[in-house]
Chains A and B, each alone.
Chain A
Amino acid sequence: MHFIPNLYLDPGSGSILIQIAIAVLLGLGVALRASWGSIKKLFGVKPKQEEDDDSENVQS
């Protein structure tokens, strides 16, 4: 697979195909959420706090 350099794990053909299928589906959700955020922003609703990169390793 030309787009993955220095591969040392075998990602598995089936595993790649299925994750692309799932990801495309779920990516739509992420995209919708993002655009919903900007629509809300248009109307002056403050966006929800994104996960803070410096937040602790909180293990529930």
Chain B
Amino acid sequence: MSKAEQLSASFRDPSGFLFTDKGILYRQINRAYSNDYARLIDSGLYGRLVKANLLIPHVESDQLPAKSEAAFKVIQPERVPFISYPYEWSFSQLKDAALATLSIQKRALKLDMSLKDASAYNIQFVRGKATLIDTLSFEAYKEGQPWVAYKQFCQHFLAPLALMSYRDVRLSQLMRVYIDGVPLDLASELLPAKTKFNFGLLTHIHIHASAQKRYSDKAVAPRAMGMNKQALTGLIESLENTINKLTWKPAGTEWGDYYENTNYTDSAFEHKKVLVREWSVEKNPALVWDLGGNTGVFSREAASSGAFTVSFDIDPAAVEQNYRTVRSNKEQNVLPLILDLTNPSPSLGWDNRERDSFGARGPVDMALALAIIHHLAISNNVPLPQLADFFAARCTWLVIEFVPKSDSQVKKLLASREDIFPNYTREGFEAAFGSRFKIHKAEAVRDSERTLYLMEVRS
């Protein structure tokens, strides 16, 4: 074995696994999977799916396999710029991931193949589109065979989408607790009774959950009776219809008027946009994190420099709106995600190594922290030196906005509590951040009391 390193999340499927060597990502295909792989390519399914942006493209590689005894081939898949997880997606992102999975399954069935798994973690957003990244998810379809991934599909997609749509959008966070998707008995219990009058949810969730309970300790060897391709297509179309009908729209004022409730004047807002754009062009980062990105206005300024920009926000409605903008403008290098910076995504799964924490997916070339510092320092009580440490561990270049106590937004935060933040001043901020960063620029934002800084981390 060379110095190749197997990825810690890549161990479940005996068909193969991912590994890296000298920073390049490869996928080893095992001999056990050789027939299915050949079929994927020879049937034309691979070509069709790649052309439709539904499957990650790859090239076959001369790289030595990481475990040669089992190896059939090594392929080099296109690298995804940023790996995200379903508990970080907005409603429409999870819905599009579900529909992409079903669309792949329908196209596969036409060419006598079938998905052998339907994990939400196999979908990533590539060039703005939900895309399957696991080339080894296909198997030859045999007439009579049920869909082995049906249960997984319902747990990873249908159950969380139904809960988000019918109960509360924040229930997407159940995906953070249950690594293999929301248990159907839990979904059935949490969903309102009226969902029993929806044919799709009645059958795929409520009755499905009772059947699971009833047969949990019984082995079944059903004859393939009736489960022909037509029946299977009917099942897939039923899931598709059920998911298409699930919607979510944030109520009332949350929706749409994010930047109207601020104290910015137009000229301050425009000035900030210009500075973010100029500094992004000047430093030319490949990957940018916009922390507290709201609906992505400033993320797009950074992205206009060519950088792939991940736009994080705590508010599912803002992220939803941001994603809809990506979709309608067909943007390829902005990825909106839900993240609570005061409690970011942890490492999860087997040995805590299957899903990377937020921090482990960095550091990045540039981070934006605009109109966020007062939330972290005052609402969340994080001392300024600890904030400086946090940002220093995550980026080379930092564009950060200091919002002073005299600013009306900060006054609002302090209105209902005692001011226990004597060091929250411009001087205190510069001292704390100056010890971890070299401050290159400090620009007063026009028509405001705020300052925008460009800093470089000290090594």
Contacts and interface: CB of A to CB of B under 8 A. Distances in A.
A12 B218 CA distance: 10
Given A14-B208, A17-B215, A24-B226, A4 B148 contact: yes
Interface string A16-56: 11111011111111110010000000000000000101111
A56 B213 CA distance: 40
**B interface bracket (residues with beta carbon within 8 Å of A):** 35 or more
Contacts of B234: 22-23, 25-30
Interface string B203-243: 11001101111111011111011111011111101100000
Contacts of B103: 57
Contacts, number: 149
A13 B220 contact: yes
Interface stretch (B63-71, B138-146, B449-457): B138-146
Interface string B153-184: 01000000000000000000000000000000
B397 to A, nearest CB: 33
Nearest to A57: B53
Contact of B227 (A9, A10, A24, A56): A24
B149 A9 contact: yes
Nearest to A51: B106
A57 B106 CA distance: 13
B116 A16 contact: no
B436 interface: no
A30 B230 contact: yes
Contacts of B226: 20, 23-24, 27
Interface in B63-114: 96, 99-100, 103, 106-107, 110
A16 B14 CA distance: 22
B231 A53 contact: no
B207 A9 contact: no
B150 A15 contact: yes
Contact of B208 (A1, A11, A18, A24): A18
B355 interface: no
Contacts of B274: none
Nearest to B154: A15
Interface residues of A, number: 39
A16 B249 CA distance: 34
Contact of B130 (A19, A24, A59): A59
B417 interface: no
Contacts of A1: 220-222
Given A8-B14, A14-B214, A26-B235, A59 B327 contact: yes
B116 A19 contact: no
B218 A30 contact: no
Contacts of A34: 230
A57 B54 contact: yes
Task: Give the most central of A29, A55, A56, A57: most B CB within 10 Å.
Answer: A57
Contacts of A18: 203, 207-208, 211-212
B141 to A, nearest CB: 11
Given A1-B221, A8-B116, A53-B107, A26 B231 contact: yes
Contacts of A17: 211, 215, 220, 222
B231 A23 contact: yes
A27 B52 contact: no
Nearest to A55: B52
Contacts of B52: 53-57
B32 interface: yes
Contacts of A55: 52
- Among A9, A13, A19, A22, find the residue whose CB has the most chain B CB atoms closer than 10 A: A19
Given A3-B145, A17-B215, A18-B208, 8 more contacts: A6-B15, A6-B32, A20-B231, A22-B235, A26-B237, A27-B232, A29-B234, A59-B99
Interface of A: 1-20, 22-31, 34, 51, 53-57, 59-60
List the 3 closest pairs (A to B, CB-CB), nearest first.
A26-B234, A27-B231, A14-B211
Interface of B: 12-15, 32, 48, 51-54, 96, 99-100, 103, 106-107, 110, 116-117, 129-131, 139, 142, 144-152, 154, 203-204, 207-208, 210-216, 218-222, 224-228, 230-235, 237-238, 244, 327
23 contacts: A1-B222, A7-B148, A8-B12, A8-B13, A8-B117, A9-B152, A12-B151, A13-B212, A14-B208, A14-B210, A15-B154, A16-B222, A18-B212, A20-B222, A27-B228, A27-B230, A27-B233, A29-B234, A54-B48, A55-B52, A57-B54, A59-B96, A59-B100
